[in-house]
Structure 1
């Protein structure tokens, strides 16, 4: 065990977060996301039994968001005509605001198939058991300045 590291972050996930460099992206996917087929060319980490908000909060305690881009957090946009509500997005913005002074202003929505294209280029995909719909998020890594 380590001090100061959220216990939800497995050794495999910690290793990946450490390996990632500036501008690399990681996807936190909900339970419906096709993580294995999207992640054929990247690392897929299983975190079944955990939700995206708790992982997002833990990751952002040690993961700097990219400040060289306007939007370093991207969500999958609701498909036009779909009547799904997305209250989880407000939760994400609250979590991001705890760790990044830009708050919700650094969060964007991207079209579903554009999101899939970005996910295919990600360094890693974290497959969760999140049940909320449209709960997928891409984080772009920044630099540690201290």
Structure 2
């Protein structure tokens, strides 16, 4: 065990976060997301929700400040009238974490899938909320 590492981050996930370089992206995926078939590297966090992992990851991972957006959400599909309440939760987490670049990009569904295939890793969670997928772009440690 180590001090200051959030307890819900597995050694495997901490290793992946440390391996990532500036500009690398990681996806925290909800339980419906095809994580295993899209991931170059898959980190399983079954039983955990996206919000609790987001809080912990933002304690360790700096967000990119050289790009307009360091955070992306999967846009609701055309014709779907869902309003994802979890997005409000993400906004509060991001604000309370005092993330430098808080601008959130809305990424069309298929484009999100395409980007996730090139992401450094995908974290598969047990999150039940729909449209709960979030993409984070790593910045520079200062």
The alignment's TM-score, normalised by the length of structure 1, stands at 0.94
Deviations 1:11-63 (A, max 9, x none): 00000000000000000000000001111xx1101000000000000000010
Query: Aligned with 1:99: secondary structure?
Result: coil
Query: Aligned with 1:125: secondary structure?
Result: strand
Cα drift, residue 102 of structure 1:
4.1
Question: Contact 1:38–1:120 (CA<8 Å) still a contact in 2?
Answer: yes
The answer for the alignment partner of 1:9 in structure 2 is: 9
Alignment of 1:1-146 (within 5 A): 1-39=1-39, 42-97=40-95, 98-103=97-102, 106-145=103-142
Q: CA RMSD in A?
A: 0.9
Q: Bigger CA drift: 69-78 or 79-88?
A: 79-88
Question: Contact 1:61–1:99 (CA<8 Å) still a contact in 2?
Answer: no
The alignment's TM-score, normalised by the length of structure 2, stands at 0.96
Q: Distance in 2 between matches of 1:70 and 1:82?
A: 27
Q: Distance in 2 between matches of 1:3 and 1:93?
A: 27
Q: Bigger CA drift: 61-70 or 92-101?
A: 92-101
Which runs of no fewer than 5 residues in structure 2 stay unpaired? none
Query: Aligned with 1:45: secondary structure?
Result: strand
Q: Distance in 1 between matches of 2:20 and 2:91?
A: 23
Question: Contact 1:73–1:138 (CA<8 Å) still a contact in 2?
Answer: yes
* Runs of 4+ residues deviating >4 angstroms: none
